[in-house]
Amino acid sequence: MGYCFGQSGSQSQETKIETLAEGLGFPEGPIALADGSVLVVEMQFGNLTKIGKNGSKTVIAKLGGGPNGAAMGPDGAVYVCNNGGLQWSVRNGVTFPGEAAKDYKGGYIQRVDLQTGNITTLYSECEGRKLSAPNDIVFDAQGGMWISDQGKYFSTHKEHGSIYYAKTDGSFICRQAEKLETPNGIRLSADGKSLYYAETNTGRLFSYQINTPGEIDTSTKKLVIGLPGQQMFDSFALDEEGNLCVATLLNGGISIVSKDGKLLRHIPTQDILTTSICFGGNQQKTAYITLGGAGKLISIPWNKAGLKLNFLTY
């Protein structure tokens, strides 16, 4: 099914971009809340921050390191992927992440109590191997969390990426796939039978079949789409029809990909470092998008409802 954002299809009607907040430190991982506010992580500043409907910014928790992705858990707490910290540079007014921070000691998974701001570190390793750079997170219907670990760049080498499955109480984490090339965004199909993940450096989307909760069949790995030219994938969200709406780097915007691998449309966002997207608002027809390079949270009216995430009430 086609994607259209306005009766005439003109760019001015398609992208009614509203800036909700500015001055953020490379925002990612938006979570739309029922009261109209949006939570984001600020990777550069190490914060979990709440953006109010009036554009106010309230730091909920100072997480340190490099918070990279976030999701609402079954207990109402926010679970955060923290990559352990990066080096930063600004070029022509655009903020860019770089290789591992000088004080980097590894990545970790954190839990934030939204009522108190208390932070708990749940995982920093799996089977004796440290987490490298946890990037994104999604919960299944059973309350377990799927986690992408992007791997880490150093001046002399890089670490491979992985996909993990873990419980929220800190008692269990297992590696489900490894030796991956910069896995970034990670999401589930509506029926919970497919796990999607995006590779940043290759600009490709893959899927795995889920056999039982918390277990993928690595033999079912399938390429959904690969983009030509200089385009990279970051985080993404699904709409109600199963289309994947992928934050796209360099060709800054949202690439809308059908579940059978067709590029339906590209929605530009005016930032080459468009990092992530979530849905919320009335009937979940508002896209909240983080612009990392510009340090902004924006919104765009969407003509399809977003797929409702487990444990998130709108």
Q: 303: annotated binding-site residue? A: no
What lies within 8 Å, CB to CB, of 311 at 6+ separation is 72, 73, 74, 139, 143
Q: Any idea what DSSP says for residue 305?
A: P
Q: 82: annotated binding-site residue? A: no
The answer to whether 304 and 285 have CB atoms below 8 angstroms apart is yes
CA quadruple 26, 57, 93, 302: dihedral sign = positive
- Can you tell me the distance from the alpha carbon of 58 to that of 146, in angstroms, rounded to the nearest whole number? 28
For residue 40 the two structure tokens come to 């984001």
- The secondary structure of 21-54 as a DSSP string is E-S-SSEEEEEE-TTS-EEEEETTTTEEEEE-TT
Query: Which helix (H) or strand (E) element contains residue 110?
Result: strand 108-112
Select which of 136, 234, 239, 271 is catalytic: 234
Q: Is 234 a catalytic residue?
A: yes
Q: 135: annotated binding-site residue? A: yes
The answer to whether 212 and 182 have CB atoms below 8 angstroms apart is no
For residue 47 the two structure tokens come to 């914060």
Torsion angle, CA of 197/244/311/137, rounded to 10 degrees? 20
Query: Which helix (H) or strand (E) element contains residue 177?
Result: strand 173-180
Q: Which amino acid is at 11?
A: Q
* Best CA proximity match to 270, nearest among 237, 295, 287, 235: 295
Phi and psi (nearest 5°) for 97? -80, 155
Q: Beginning with the edge strand found earlier in the chain, give each strand of the sheet holding 119-123 in spatial order.
A: 67-72, 78-82, 108-112, 119-123
| Binding residue numbers | 135, 184, 234
| Binding residue numbers for a divalent metal cation | 184, 234
| Binding residue numbers for substrate | 135
Active site residues: 234
